[in-house]
Amino acid sequence: MATDANCIFCKIVAGAIPSFKLYEDSATFAFLDINPGNPGHALVIPKAHAVNLYASDDKDLAAVMATVRKVATAVEKTVTPDGLNLLQANGPGAAQSVFHFHMHILPRRLGDELKMNWGLKPGDKAELAALAEKIRANL
């Protein structure tokens, strides 16, 4: 399994840095975010190091999503939020701060004022169609 000796999340998995562990299996590790947006804000990571989504192995991504569902269900039962966001960032432009693939489980409250929403602004349908065609060509 790939690890990075300088990665804070790899150090958490190894037990070199303490965490508020929620769940662990052979492929994933889940823990509370120490800078929570709201109570119950958790992170799920693959144990195998990959800097982002693009570098991640499909089996690790599948394992992470299964753990996300399990932990999100427990968070929902525990803090009974009004909703829940799943957030994953890739690169500095998306505000990725730890370069080890991870998913945020972020409980939400109505009126919590967390700024992740970009508002609704209809896109140009012709531009959307052209862009969809270009993206499909790259799949």
pLDDT at 134: 85
Q: What is the pLDDT of residue 18?
A: 93
* Catalytic, out of 41, 49, 100, 102: 102
Cβ contacts of 51 within 8 Å, gap of 6 or more? 99, 100, 101
**All domains of the chain in start order, with CATH:** 8-137 (3.30.428.10)
pTM for this structure?
0.89
Section 94-119 average pLDDT: 89
The residue with tokens 């009974």 is 80
Q: What is the pLDDT of residues 10-45, one digit of tens each?
A: 999 999 999 999 999 999 999 999 999 999 999 999
Scan for tokens 């799920």, then name that residue: 44
Give CA 39 to chain center in angstroms.
Answer: 16
The average pLDDT across 97-111 equals: 95
Q: Rounded to whole angstroms, how far apart are CA atoms 14 and 5?
A: 10
**Residue 102 catalytic?**
yes
pLDDT digits (tens, 9 = 90+) for 53-74: 999 999 999 999 999 999 999 9
| Mean pLDDT, rounded, for 88-93 | 94
